[in-house]
Amino acid sequence: MKNLELLRCVPVTELGSFSSPPSCLTVDCDTGIIYTASTVEIIGLQPESQEVVVTSSLATNDYFPDNNSNVIGIQHLPDLESVCVCMGSGDVLLYNTLTQQTECVGSTDSGISCMAWSPDLELVVFTTGENTVIMMTKDFDPITEFPIHTAEFGQDEPINVGWGKKETQFHGSAGKPSTETLKPTVTPSFPWDDHHCRISWRGDGQYFVVSAIEPATDARKLRVWSREGVLMTSSEEVDGLEQSLCWKPSGSLIASTQRKPHRHDVVFFERNGLRHGEFTLPFQRMEVKVIEMQWSTDSTVLAIRIEEMLPEDRQNAIPRSYIQLWTVNNYHWYLKQELAFPASASDRVACFSWDPENALKLHLITGGGQYASYEWTWSTLHSQSHSTHNISTVAVIDGANLLLTPMKYMVVPPPMAAQTVAMPAAIQSVTFAPPPACNDMAVLLSSGDIAILRMPSAPAEFIPPGSPPRLQGVYSIIDPDLPGLWRGPGALHHVTWWRDDKLVGVVWNAMSQSEALCEITIKDKGEGGTELVVSHVTELDEPAMRVTSNPDTGSLAIQLVSGVILKYNSDKDGARVSQWLNEIGQQVSLPQTCVQMRIAQIGNKEIILGLTSHYRLYADDKEVATNCTSFAVHDEFLLLSTHAHTCRCISLLPSSQGLPVLLEDKPNALDESIRRVERGSQIVVAVTQDTKVILQVSAEFNHSLPLILNPDVNYRVLSGTIYRELYYMESARVRILFTSSAKNERLFLANIETFLKQVESVAFINLFLSDLRDEDTTITMYGDFYPCATKRGSSSDKTKIDTVCDACREALQNLGKEKYLLSILMSYAKKTEPELETVLSIIRDLKNKQVDTSLGVTSEEALKYVLFLVDVNQMFDVALGMYDFQLVLMVAEKSQKDPKEYLPFLNNLRQMETNYQRYMIDKHLKRFTKAIKNLSLCGSEHFHELVTLVKEKSLYKEALKLYSKTTKEYQDISICYGKHLFEKKKYEEAGIVFSRVGAHSQALEAFQRCCSWRHAFCVSSQLEETEEKKMERARGMAAYLKEHHRFTEAATVLEDYAKDPEEAIVSLLDGSEWDEALRMIYKHNRVDIIETNLKPALVEGCRSERSITAQHSENFTKYKERLHIVRETKERLRIELLENGTLRDDTDADIFSDTSSITGQSGFGSSVGSKGTRSTGEHVTSLLRALALFGFDSEADALQKEFHVLVTLIEGSLSDIWLPQEISSTEQTIVQASGPGATVNSIIAAMNQSPSANQTQEKDSNVIKVVMYILEEKFVSHCR
């Protein structure tokens, strides 16, 4: 039900004279400059300043433009800071926007018919005059070249397996000859087709489609290629397919046009080449031709450029041109906007393009070198008055048809409507009149005329679809003595019916080059005639973004592009605009430009409500919500939908705590009244003087609770004096839960018998109990209506339901157990943990007592009621779990169960021994813990069955508790438990379990798997193994340890158990354990390893450490700079919060968004983790010592210097990282310094005081280790 409403229309700007009309344009997203080109020059326009900032000749030293050629493509390339211009003659030019030089980067002799850049601007595709496709990189390096026309279908050709052939089906009276499929015939392309190829990329840049003339049929055909130049699919033969082509950015559809014998369609193709839907243009078959079409960047709007087809006797005349905007909803295509351009060479549309960043902004250039841009927004058009006569009519634009639905009386989902009113031209906008005729409409047409629709008076009884409005007339606007007003398409916009006889709109004054407010008077010229006359034109300092009025007070507000709000007034002395002031006399300015704006009234003051395109809702200059998708102003409420799929309702009454609480930036301000709605729902209209709110996704309506609740009644209910008031709220399904009020809960519990006596009805008591909740609804759900409610300090809310149920049950038993038996049963069933066994016990006792039915309910009635509350299958299981077969049968008789199913089951159970019977029942009810307990009592003959169940349900721990540790059963279950742990790869636990019961071989295998080599060799000693077996096991264990970087342990295993000192030394060298490796070399007299292994490992270790040190320096500098930026941003936001009382928008969100990438990884930890558990200082010290020992002085010196530079950098930055207020004034010991309250300075100071043989080196290493870890945490904490 949304429409496209024109926000801004940038006036026509002369770009200069062109030797030939421009055929394409491109937008520089960084500067906003619009580039276009002719055969001899490139022109750049800055729309904001309305100045031509670039005029550059295409001539270069090696290239002279061909005046007979034409520009077939232009694209701005931000990475190259250039504009690429493609000429039809085959030349590709590159204009550098910095140096203003033009270069011919390539040429093809056969000419170029089309150029298309991929969405990421990494690839460019050309089609040549020889019907080939050339793919290049953004640097114009060729990738591939291939012919367009091929007999192949493509890589994704469907496979026919021969099922369901037409020849095998029944053919009726047509007979089998009808199965002979005829090849579809296509007619040649139309004479006005330029026979040029068209290229369009999918939004993700993975595929592109080419429309080209097939040589065999002279008709167009579509082919889809992948980004790698692989033909994927070819389209089916489509008769009458035309040249226009555009792939929807979202990737679902490829749009083109088809001229059929009886109509002109826009048709869609899927990527597989098959047709997928169409819609018909509102023209005759030979009335217009489609030049081109483009999707908006968000895939919501399809723009079509159309030109009038002239008859043969007027071929030399200039045709009229149009740009139409189409959208789709519920599989229906709507013509939402139409820009009609006059039939002149200067006004004819030459080219247009959507803005790449603003999805609903359109740029166009006319044949006369004039530029204009249009910016739209989505809006819902409906009557806004709070008068009782308002029937909340919603208007939907569909070309020249106006679809109207009175939502007060009926809800009709689009594309249907209650009434359809045809207009003489396409509709641009609709505005509703102020009261009392608040359902009348003024309709602005694309021709510039205004139609007046009068709605008949509402009948006493509405009969759908109601009476359609009466068209009073279509009027041209008379503006004598105002020749400066621009009259192009969309010149008049923001039309608002302000007063009974006054319309206000925004126009462009070409003489003063500024926008102006145009006041139009509806005059009665006698004899029933009416005319529209411009009565006042008021200049504006800035372009207007929004114009809205309060139909009940007559206030008119104008929002400028800067966010400033102006107020408009006029009388017989003239018109004037003034500042919109708030209640304290300050000028109101919205913090951001808002695409939707309304005036709301709180008491005697009016506030401006504005919603930005980024879903931020403002009330005057205060932010109300950050995830608002739509809003509506009701009589006394503000309703808004959110991205959380909720509809929220805030009171606008002066005495309420609704919107004022929001403006004070209090937490939980929007949690007062929330209703979950369907995903993506948006508010269409809140029906005036009603509780109905219309939401659009499935066109549903609901009655919002805040619009229903009456605070006066609820206050009396909460006071505990008039409990019977609950009856009056039954129609809305609203029960105020007395116990939810922390203030009145004790009073309610003390007077619970009074409550029960007043209510008296068993049905209502049960309804009350069923609605109990564990929350204080006077604070959470209905907080806006109970401002005096206070939050309780205790945690009794957790047991509130149980407390109330117990209290009610006790009171009901005193009042009459037989009378209130159903309520008593409800109190058991409603508890947090329903006591269903107690319920069944009461019913069983009731049946056994054989009470008089005249005094209360029978056991049958009680059971029937309980089964209404609780699922019968659940009650059947509860009764079965009580091991009472009579009770089970009683429940089963009230269910839909087939006796043939449950009677044999119960009879089978009755024949079993008691313990085994209970085991089978518990197993059936999936109470497996009880089941194995009962089964263990059945004797050893059922032990195998117990083990099977234990394995199946993993009940090993529970089963072990059932047997003594000395029994065979305990040992068997333990073995099974160990195997289970082994399968779950919990090898160490499995080894322990196996060892407990003496399964040494299995324990050894488990310990080996988890690399617990000490336990493994301990267990191995208990097994009789040969030395060779032990050595082989040791080598395998050592290999596993080295894979996990446990080199020292691997060396121990190799030396002690494998008796292989050489491999042990190699393991130590792999782990950079230089000192230990050297000790073992001399211990085993293997000095030859020094030359073969040790020295090469030292050189490689030095190179690795230098690389790690360089990485530390880079990471430290990066973190330090980011910390400085975050501190500055945090301090600036804190100052803004203190000065303004609110934070600005997320202009610095990119700074804080980086924290996620920093908290998720640590540059220091990743570089050190591979070296084991030793600190950086220990490792470097050992390495330096070894380098010096073997004469690698230059390598050691270089490493020492780089390490010293890193330490100096960190120590010199400590004062910048830890500010003075963050440093503790007392120094602590090393143990104390490592606690949670330590600072890096205290840690380093404590380390400096401790004696060490390598004090300087250890200090440096600790500085690095502490700083690199803590700096990341400090940066993240500042971001929070």
- Strands 41-46, 34-37: pairing is antiparallel
Q: pLDDT grade, residue 166 (50/70/90)?
A: low
> Would you say residue 276 lies in a domain?
yes
In terms of average pLDDT, the best of 155-169, 302-316, 1071-1085, 1220-1234 is 302-316
Q: Are residues 744 and 850 in the same domain?
A: no
d(CA 1007, CA 1015): 6
606-615, 623-632, 729-738: least confident range: 729-738
**Residue pair 800/739 in contact by the 8 Å Cβ criterion:** yes
828 and 885 in a single domain? The answer is: no
Asked if residues 695 and 682 have their Cβ atoms less than 8 Å apart, the reply is yes
453 within 8 A of 472, measured Cβ to Cβ: yes
pLDDT of 209 > 90? The answer is: yes
HEC readout, 992-1052: HHHHHCCCHHHHHHHHHHCCCHHHHHHHHCCCCCCHHHHHHHHHHHHHHHHHCCCHHHHHH
Mean per-residue pLDDT for 306-332?
89
Q: Lowest-confidence range among 126-135, 205-214, 1040-1049?
A: 1040-1049
Residue 6 is assigned to a structural domain of this protein: no
How many domains is the chain built from? 5
Which residues form the domain of 891?
A: 836-896
The pLDDT confidence band at residue 898, using thresholds 50, 70 and 90, is confident
Q: How confident is the model at residue 795 (pLDDT cuts 50, 70, 90)?
A: very low
Same domain, 668 and 734: no
Q: How far is CA 1265 from CA 1112, 1121, 1164, 1207, in A?
A: 10, 19, 8, 11
pLDDT digits (tens, 9 = 90+) for 1053-1079: 888 887 888 888 888 888 888 888 888
pLDDT at 395: 95
1263: pLDDT strictly greater than 80: no
pLDDT over 60 (residue 1259): no
Q: Is the pLDDT of residue 855 over 70?
A: no
In sequence order, what are the residues at sequence separation of 6 or more whose Cβ sits closer than 8 angstroms to the Cβ of residue 666? none
pLDDT at 710 over 50: no
Please, are residues 504 and 442 in contact by the beta-carbon 8 Å criterion? no
Mean pLDDT on 718-725: 49
pLDDT for position 1089: 82
**Res 1073: pLDDT:** 82
Report d(CA 72, CA 64) in Å as an integer: 17
Query: Mean pLDDT over residues 1098-1116, rounded?
Result: 85
Give me the count of residues in the chain. 1280
Classify residue 137: in a domain, yes or no.
Answer: yes
DSSP 3-state of 1104: helix
Question: For the whole model, what pTM was predicted?
Answer: 0.61
* Least-confidence region, from 118-132, 193-207, 1169-1183: 1169-1183
Report residue 1149's pLDDT band, with 50, 70 and 90 as the boundaries: very low
First to last CA, the chain: 41
pLDDT (0 to 100) of residue 1213: 81
- Do 892 and 754 share a domain, yes or no? no
> What's the CA dihedral at 25, 28, 33, 37 to 10 degrees?
-30
Whether pLDDT at 354 is above 90: yes
Of the CA atoms within 13 Å of residue 883, those in its CB half-sphere come to 15
Across 59-68, 804-813, 1167-1176, least confident range: 1167-1176
Query: In the block, which residue shows the tokens 């082919």?
Result: 223
Give the domain-ending residue among 225, 256, 280.
Answer: 280
pLDDT at 1021: 75
Same domain, 259 and 125: yes
Taking residues 1099-1118, report their average pLDDT.
85
Same domain, 926 and 790: no
Query: pLDDT tens digits for 645-657?
Result: 888 888 787 655 5
Pairwise pLDDT comparison (502 vs 880), residue with the higher score: 502
Domain boundary among 219, 254, 280: 280
Strand pairing class (361-366; 349-354)? antiparallel
Q: How far apart are CA 494 and CA 609, in angstroms?
A: 17
Distances (CA, A) of 231 to 157, 206, 235, 260, 272: 10, 12, 12, 29, 11
Per-residue pLDDT, averaged over 873-881, amounts to 83
Instruction: Identify whether residues 793 and 935 lie together within a single domain.
Output: no
At 838, the pLDDT band (50, 70, 90 cuts) reads: confident
Q: Write down the mean pLDDT value for the chain.
A: 80
- 828 and 842 fall within a common domain: no
Rounded to 5 degrees, what are φ and ψ at 418? Answer: -70, -45
Residues 951-983: tens digit of each pLDDT: 888 888 888 888 888 888 888 888 898 888 888
| Shared domain check, 651 and 685 | yes
Per-residue pLDDT tens for 230-284?
999 999 889 999 999 999 999 889 999 999 988 999 999 999 999 999 999 999 8
Q: Report whether 505 contacts 496 (CB < 8 A).
A: yes
Check whether residue 124 and residue 219 sit in a common domain: yes
**Where does a domain end: 811, 833, 855?**
833
CB contact at 8 A, 1112 and 1260: no
In degrees, rounded to 5, the angle at the alpha carbon of residue 52 between the alpha carbons of residues 48 and 56 is 140
Distance CA 490, CA 447 (A): 9
Instruction: For residue 1048, list its beta bridge partners.
Output: none
Region 393-418: what's the mean pLDDT? 91
Do 847 and 720 share a structural domain?
no
Identify the band that residue 1051 occupies on the pLDDT scale cut at 50, 70 and 90: confident
- Mean pLDDT on 181-203: 83
- Please indicate, yes or no, if residue 1031 is contained in any of the structural domains: no
Look-up: residue for tokens 């916009």?
493
Q: Is residue 1109 part of a domain?
A: no
The answer on 698 and 721 residing in a single domain is: no
